Structure formats: structure tokens, C-alpha cells
Amino acid sequence: MSASVDAQTGKPKPCAAAECSQFDFWVGEWNLTYNDTVHATNYITKEMSGCVIHEHFDDPAHAYKGESWSVYSPAKKIWQQTWVDDQGACIVLTGEFKDGKMTLFTQPVAMPDGSTLQNKMVYYNITPNSFDWDWEATTDEGKTWKNNWRIHYKRKGK
């Protein structure tokens, strides 16, 4: 029997598609550095039959905590992520893993000045023990992006 079929039921295993493992590089315990100082930790687990990537972000210096849940949708062929935090934010993103980078976008939002704001997260420089993460924004429909926050991830104990 194939690894993507449950040996007991004969039914396809949930989240067996290869794309469902594209975010596995993030699973583990991390120290996060920004502005040249370790500020936060992030603990990432793979849960619910391997279908969900669950993030636990903690920045005690800024009294800031948040969590996200990420899943791959084989029907839509995209990653979907929802972030919530102790400041009341709820951010929904979608995207893909391509060319060695995970890139997730928010939906564009109309601003009072008539411009449109869109954000994106990019995970890149991915190795087994480190990667970089950028939070970027555009107000010109993606022609240019401004980096608002860069975090360097280093696996704890490495």
C-alpha cells in the first residue's frame, strides 16, 4: 500500500500531497533576532494528522504574543494562514512555496487616501537551522515593496 493511503482504512491519508510538507522547514523551536538582538522565540508544531502548521510567537521584551495556523489547500493549490495576537489583530494570508521561498499575501485593502495597501511575508535563505523572514508592504499594487520588519530565525540549540 502507498504511503499516502491509510493501511487500516484504505482511504487516502489527509494532507498526503507533497505540497503539504513545504512548510516543514519551519517546524521546531527558534530564537528570533531583529535589530541585531534576540528578541523573541517561536515554537512551531505540525498538528492535526500533519495537516496544520501551528505557530506560537512570544516577544517578552515587547509583551507581545501571537499564534498562526497554516494549511495547504490541495483544491485551491495554495497555502492559507491565519494570524491572531494579544493586540487584537487577525491577519489572513494566502500564497505559495516557489523558487525556495514561501511567500504569503494579504488581500489588498483600500485606504482613505485612495491608495491600496497590501502586505506580504517572505520566508527565504532557508537552511535546516536558519532562515530569514520579511514583512513587506506595497501601496502601488506591487510595483514596489517596502520592508517593514526583518527577522532572522536560528534553530534553538544550533
**What pLDDT was estimated at residue 5?**
58
HSE toward the beta carbon, residue 84, CA cutoff 13 A? 3
- Rounded CA separation 97/104 (Å): 9
Q: Are strands 116-127 and 52-59 parallel, antiparallel or unpaired?
A: unpaired
Supply 96's cell numbers. Answer: 505559495
**Span of 3-12, 82-91, 144-153 with lowest mean pLDDT:** 3-12
Contacts of 8 (CB under 8 A, 6+ apart): none
Q: What is the architecture, at CATH level 2, of domain 18-155?
A: Beta Barrel (2.40)
Task: Give me the count of residues in the chain.
Answer: 158
CA nearest to 149, candidates 130, 137, 139, 134: 134
Per-residue pLDDT tens over the stretch 29-69: 999 998 878 789 999 999 999 999 999 999 998 899 999 99
What pTM was computed for the model?
A: 0.89
Return the domain boundaries, the chain: 18-155
Burial class (CB in 10 A: 0-12, 13-18, 19+), 41: middle
